[in-house]
Structures are given as structure tokens and as C-alpha cells.
A and B are shown apart, each in its own frame.
Chain A
Amino acid sequence: MHTWLALGLALVLAIVVGACAGHDWATPADLIRAALGDQALRSRLLVDWRIPRVLAAALVGGLLGLGGVVFQGVFRNPLAEPYLLGSAGGAALGATVALLVPLAMPQSILLPLLAFAGAWGATVLVIGISRVSGAVDAAGMLLAGVAVAAILGALRSFLMLALSDETVSLQVVLSWVLGGVQTPTWPVLGLLTLISAGCLGLTLLLAGRLDILGLGETMAVAFGLNVTRFIAIAVLAGSVVVAAAVAFGGLVAFVGLAAPHIARWMVGPLHRPLLPASALVGAIIVTLADAIARAALPPAEIPLGLVTAVAGGPFFIMLLARRLRT
């Protein structure tokens, strides 16, 4: 109970800090005034731009936390992360097409749509390949994932070389790949909230079977789990979650790997408490990282993925070392 209270409070605190942070810092009093409907320009900017962005960052982090738990649970590997099965390469390819190929749709819709399709499509492709080749176990899937990621990466490089006629486009693509939460409108934020709630429900449906799978494949079969089918279902579900995160936040490094570990230290390895806890931890990390990304080097914005990797990496190593010593 204490753990949940602490996680909840930490998230609220992170959101407040995130909403205050920026190249123009606000105070909590400014936030309250803005939330109460103050019509001054500064308040309107907070309500229309900064607060939705901060909440979107929290939701993207929550999705990454969920995705990480599913992938680590399926592959029973502490190094497993949500981008493992080609979803990063697929999302990057989709985003590259959206950013560089002139298509008859506004980019604000096209970019998340193609990023989502790329991320999920790549994972479906990986599962398809491992099925066709008969390597349906975790190791076979990982190898197929590596191969698909290499192919998609090469395709994306080719597109970038062939389609960019000015350096600006390349920079846009590169900065998307490094991760960054788009500022959503309030209706889009509502959609993202619905998607996130759906993803939480979807992954919670897998929780009991992820626990059983963690007993090892032999025991899982003896306990009545159809292991091959469940792994495919869980990976497909997990990649929907990750694809949603990628569509709204780009490729944010490291959070999907670290959040489940930190959450496991707090609530233990059973998946029913682990999933929401990891979502909270992911939300806290991305909210704070996004605040740093916006506030550290004004007026420029550092790509979010760089912040999570640079700040999160040492933090994670420190936690790991402390954990190993005890």
C-alpha cells in the first residue's frame, strides 16, 4: 500500500515539475491560475501547450513501462526490451515515409499512423517469419527480430538517401528517431488516454499466464499453458502497446528496459501488480526526462531519447549495483 501511495505521489510531483519546467519556468501558482481558466496569454499557453505535452509524456512512459513488462515476461530475459522484435526499425521506417514521402494526408495524422503501423507490422512480420521457418520458440523469434530489424534499417537508410533533397528533412527524421513527445491537442490527449487505459487492460489479461510462463516452459505446459500460442498472443499484444507509445513519443530509449526492473524491486515479480507499477515508474521517468529535454538548453529542445539514455543509464547502473550488493 505504501509503495502505491509513493508511486502515485511521485507521479503527481513529476507532472507538476514537468508542467513548471520549460525555457520559461512557471510556478505551481501559475499552474493553478491557468487551470482555473485564467485568460492571460501565459496561462493559455500552459493549458494549450505545456500541460497536454506533459500528460502525453506521462502516458507514453506508462505505455513503455507496460510494453517492457510484457516483453521481459515473454522472453524471461532481464535484457529484453520493447523494441526487441523489430518494432523500433518498423516505426522508424514508417516515420521516415511519413516525413519524406509527400502523401495526401496531414503529417500530424500520417506520422503517428505510419509509425504505429510500422512498429506493429514489423512485429507481425517477425512472428510470421518465425512461424514459417518453424522456429516458434523465443530464441527463433529473437533471431527473426534481428534479421527484420537489419532489413528495415537498410530500407530506411535507402529512403533517407534517395528522398531527402535538403538537409533539413534528414534532421527532422533523425530527431524523430531520437524520440520526442509531440504536443497533442486535448481531444488527441483524450484518445491517447483511452488507448493507454485499453493497453493496461489488455496487458492485465496476460498477467496470470505471464506468471505461469515464468515457471519455465516445461512447468508452464504441465500447468496447462499452450506456450507457443501464448507467446505469439503476448508478443502481438505487447507490440500494440509499444507501437502506441512510439506513435505518440517516437523512439524513447531505455525506459521500457529500466521501468520493469525498478518496479519489480518495489512490488515483486508477479505480473498483476508489476504491470501497473511499471507503468507508473515509466510515466515518472518520461515525465521528468521530457521536462529536462525542454528546460535544459533553452530555447532548443534536446531529443527525449537522448535524455532518457544519458540520465537513465547511470541511474539504472547505480540501482543495479546497489541491488547486487544487498
Chain B
Amino acid sequence: MTGLTADSLVLKRGGATLLDDLSLSLGATGSVAVIGPNGAGKSTLLKVLAGIEKPLSGIVRVGDRDLVSLSSATRARTVGFLPQYFDPHWDLTVQELVRLGAERSDHLTVDAVDKVIDTFELAGLGRRRWSTLSGGERARVLLATVLVVDPPVLLADEPAASLDIRHRLDVIETLTRRGVDRLSVVVVHDLDLAFRFFERVIVMDHGRIVADAPADALFDDPRLDAVFKVRFERLKTPDGPLLRATKDRP
């Protein structure tokens, strides 16, 4: 099974501590939201877990293997990474992008490409170039490109942050649905989406994990207010939990 564990990760850059002795254990399945204020180290954590950045010290394990001992091809197939910003330099077509994603796996059939194009409703967009796509279309193409090899672990860095609410829901639902039989870790800025859709929520601040619990258990935790430096009014609606923030008077 392909769980993901991190042991005492430390990462410093230019005098700033981005990850401060952070340890974490994630099972082979589940949908996990990572939340926290700006600069908490969420994106850095994701990049280290994906093997894109090297920690100063500490170990990331995929299953029972050290991430750095994996060949880069195996790593690329095992851990999928959705970046916060994606802007390919060359104006490729949708089909070309998905095929590049598929080349991470050497035994992928044409069927897999067709299937993912089907799943993300890209059939009509195949020959369109990236520059001509809307934000929602781009998000779908990026998902298709990363998910075409069906990686057991998916790390997503707020891929939906700039989308309108409809497309944001689409993306979040796609990501959490993967958590049923795979591991899906997503940095989420919209706290309501984090508590409504994800099974487990990890709260980060100053490069450390402040809280890590099932979403419904964490919802009432006062540490949320402390980390985000606001007062949350907690509303439970039939459609899910809602957080309304007000600034503390100084």
C-alpha cells in the first residue's frame, strides 16, 4: 500500500524556517485538506512531499520506501502533483498536454488517454491550444494531464483557488472522490470547502502542524481561531458547516 509519511522535516531558506521539524503520517486512502494562513508552509510541505523540493533534514517515505531512493520516473508515476499555477511555456494543444502527462508511464495505452479525456469532458477540446482555454477548461486539462497515469498519491496545491464557484466545486469533488480508494492531499484556502468535503483536516502555522483531526472533530476547535487570528462564528447548515470570520478587536 502507498501511504505517505514524513519524519522531522526541516526546510530553511534565506533565514526563514519554512518547515520546522514537521512529522506527518497519511494512510493509503483518504481525502486530506491542508489549511492555514498565508506563509504557514502549506505549499512548501506539498512540494517536499512530492519530491520537488529537498528538505534540509528529515525523510519522506512513500509506502515503506524513502522518497529519494525512488527513481524519478517511479516517483513521477506514484506521486501526482497539481501546482498552484500552471502556465506551460509552449502553447500546446489539450491532446498534446495530456499525452505528455501520459509519457510518465511507459506501459500506458492509448485507451488511458482517451479515458481521461472522456472523464474530464475534454473530447471537444482536443485540438484547442492552452492559450485559448477558459479557467475552468484549464483546470480540467491540468487534472487530466496529472491524473492520466492514475497515481496512487495525489498532492494538489489549491488548484481551484482562482476558479468560479461552480468549477471550484467540480475540482474539489474530483479530488475528494479520489480519496475513496487513493490518497488525495489538497491545500485548500476556502475553509468551508475543507470542512464540508474532506475527511481529515490538517492545520498548519509557522511551518508546523498545529492540529490534525477528522474534519467534524476539528470544526469546533478553538485553535482554528488562534491560527487564523479571527473569531469564527460556526454555523451548521443542512448542506454542511459554515465558518463566518470576524476580526478580533485589538
Chain A positions near chain B (C-beta within 8 angstroms): 76, 208, 211-212, 214-216, 218-219, 221-226, 264, 268-270
Contact = CB atoms under 8 A, between A and B. Distances in A.
Contact of A216 (B51, B77, B89, B92): B89
A223 B51 contact: no
A270 B92 contact: yes
Q: Which 7 A-B pairs have the closest CB atoms?
A: A224-B76, A269-B90, A222-B81, A224-B72, A76-B89, A214-B90, A214-B89
A222 B88 contact: no
A268 B100 contact: no
B86 A219 contact: yes
B121 to A, nearest CB: 22
Contacts of A269: 90-92
B89 to A, nearest CB: 4
Contact of A225 (B72, B86, B91): B72
A153 B83 CA distance: 43
B87 A222 contact: no
7 contacts: A216-B87, A216-B89, A222-B80, A222-B83, A224-B73, A224-B76, A268-B93
Contact of B100 (A212, A218, A221, A226): A212
Given A216-B88, A216-B89, A225-B72, 10 more contacts: A211-B90, A215-B89, A216-B86, A218-B83, A222-B52, A222-B79, A222-B83, A223-B100, A223-B104, A269-B91
Interface residues of B, number: 27
Interface string B85-107: 01111111100100011011000
A225 B100 CA distance: 12
B51 A215 contact: no
Contacts of B75: 224
B50 interface: yes
B83 A219 contact: yes
* A-side interface mostly: loop
Contact of B51 (A219, A221, A270): A221
Contacts of A214: 88-90, 92
A83 B4 CA distance: 46
Nearest to A269: B90
Nearest to B80: A222
A224 B93 contact: no
Given A218-B83, A270-B96, A223 B91 contact: no
Interface in B4-53: 47, 50-52
Contacts of B89: 76, 214-216
Contacts of A215: 86, 88-89, 100
Contacts of A268: 92-93, 96
B91 A211 contact: no
Nearest to A213: B89
Q: Which of B80, B89, B92, B93 has the most CB of A within 10 A?
A: B89
Given A216-B86, A216-B89, A268-B93, A211 B72 contact: no
A101 B92 CA distance: 50
A269 B79 CA distance: 27
Contact of A223 (B71, B96, B101): B101
A222 B103 contact: no
A208 B88 CA distance: 15
A211 B104 CA distance: 12
A264 B86 CA distance: 21
Contacts of A76: 89
A23 B93 CA distance: 48
Given A268-B93, A269-B91, A270-B92, A221 B52 contact: yes
A221 B47 CA distance: 10
Nearest to B82: A222
Nearest to A212: B100
A223 B83 CA distance: 12
A30 to B, nearest CB: 45
B52 A218 contact: yes
A211 B90 CA distance: 8
Contacts of B96: 268, 270
B103 A208 contact: yes
B155 to A, nearest CB: 9
A212 B76 CA distance: 12
B189 to A, nearest CB: 19
A67 to B, nearest CB: 18
B193 to A, nearest CB: 24
B86 A223 contact: no
Nearest to A271: B90
B108 to A, nearest CB: 13
Contacts of B52: 218, 221-222
A278 B75 CA distance: 34
B104 A224 contact: yes
A212 B51 CA distance: 17
A75 to B, nearest CB: 10
